[in-house]
Amino acid sequence: MSSIERKWPWFSIGVFLLATFLGLTATAEENSSVWNRKTLGGDWGGMRTSLEENGIRYNLSYTGFYQGLFEGDGNDDWRFGGRVDLLLDVDTGKLGLWNGGGIHTRIEYRGDSPMAFRGGALWPVNTGALFPIGAANEFVASSLYLSQRTGEESNVMIGKINALDLLSSHPFFGGSGTDRFWNMAFAAPPSGVVPPVIIGGILSHSTAPYSFTIMVFDPNDQTTNYSLDHLFSDGVNVSFGVNRSGSIAGRQSSIGVTATYSSAEGIDYSKLGLPASSGTTTKKGSYNIAVELSHLLIENTQKPGKGIGLYLKGAIADGNPNPVQWSFIGGIGGIGLFPGRIEDSFGIGYYYYNFSNKLQNVIRPLVKFDDEQGIEVFYDFAATPWFHIALDLQYIDPASGDNQNALVGGLRTKIVF
């Protein structure tokens, strides 16, 4: 075990003790007690309210992980890890600049353990321990963009955008691994054509019951890039999505379709293993088309529009050069599984990824490479509104066919300051 791994549990304990001390010593002028307020620090003696009145809102959190392998091949060590996330939003109108505008940034810091991959699974079993990619033990601004609203129906975002944040308000998918599911198949469903961090623009428009989204962005991951040099030099990605909201049997329901095309070149799997003199080994153009359905099964009377829902997502892709052929993800999740626990959340999900047949045919003579499927179950217990404890269990039939099925367990704690 490395020195960093040995320090993480003590660091996690230290953060919790410091957080508790700060919360207990917060000014008594606040109405709510430390155990009932939404954030540990509350109003911080009026500082939070003052900032918000001037158009500055922030969300600072620390998430700790403890995860290991119950069954399966590979390293079965149980390891501690952690990350810090700061989201900062500026309302340019309240700041006295221009109306309808916003400046947004997300700063992330994560340790290099626990391991994001376990038991031969191709998709990470711990999304929060993987992102930001290639930037362990350092601070990264994974989002830095401008937004502009035009009326109540349209919004434009342009700049560096963390794609995982686009799912932050989804009741089932998303969560970046710090909320809801851990496995990337649910926290950030891979499409093969959308990198974790993009540089480009997003236009969204709503006209009930429809909403439309158009995205144009560079095809390469921009996690550690802060420059506009060579932008779109490898191609361009374009995405179009439409969603219709309505109701079935008096419950909220929706159906959405998203199509994404990339003009970038990728590896031509049908040419792998052939001599270089046989011609190009790359192929231009890749796509992914996804359909998503949702239906609220049980509505929570204390939180209208929320409750326990059914969520399904199916997608098809070209399979060459996209490593994905098709995928299916679905499950049940939401809040209020138990009476009186409306701040708790839970999820039961299943995923199946069918990988490129051409890629599998090339790799199989050397290594057994199958499709991947798995089940994940989590329950997130709100000890207080600002302190959550989550238990997670994953059973995975990994893409690495030479590995036995894996059973992965985990404990997650999150403190919102």
pLDDT (tens digit per residue) in 78-116: 999 999 999 999 999 999 999 999 999 999 999 876 678
Question: In the prediction, which pLDDT does 204 show?
Answer: 98
CA distance 8 to 59: 22
Question: In the prediction, which pLDDT does 66 show?
Answer: 95
Question: In the prediction, which pLDDT does 5 show?
Answer: 44
Report the residue count for the chain: 417
What is the overall mean pLDDT for the chain?
Answer: 91
Q: Is the pLDDT of residue 127 over 70?
A: yes
Q: Is the pLDDT of residue 137 over 80?
A: yes
The mean pLDDT value for 309-324 works out to 97
DSSP 330-374: EEEEEE-SSTT-TT-EEEEEEEEEEE-HHHHHHHTTTS-B--EEE
Q: How confident is the model at residue 21 (pLDDT cuts 50, 70, 90)?
A: low
Q: Which CATH architecture has domain 3-416?
A: Beta Barrel (2.40)
List the Cα angle 239/244/247 in 5-degree steps.
155
Q: How confident is the model at residue 33 (pLDDT cuts 50, 70, 90)?
A: confident
CA distance 47 to 51: 6
Q: Is the pLDDT of residue 376 over 90?
A: yes
Q: Is the pLDDT of residue 27 over 50?
A: no
Domain-wise residue ranges, the chain: 3-416
CB 160 within 8 A of CB 198: yes
Question: In the prediction, which pLDDT does 123 show?
Answer: 96
Q: How confident is the model at residue 2 (pLDDT cuts 50, 70, 90)?
A: very low
Question: In the prediction, which pLDDT does 29 show?
Answer: 41
More confident residue, 281 or 246: 246
Q: How confident is the model at residue 390 (pLDDT cuts 50, 70, 90)?
A: very high
The mean pLDDT value for 184-200 works out to 97
In Å, how far from its chain's centre is CA 251? 26
The mean pLDDT value for 191-217 works out to 97
- What are the residues facing 170 on neighbouring strands? none
Q: Is the pLDDT of residue 273 over 70?
A: no
The mean pLDDT value for 212-231 works out to 96
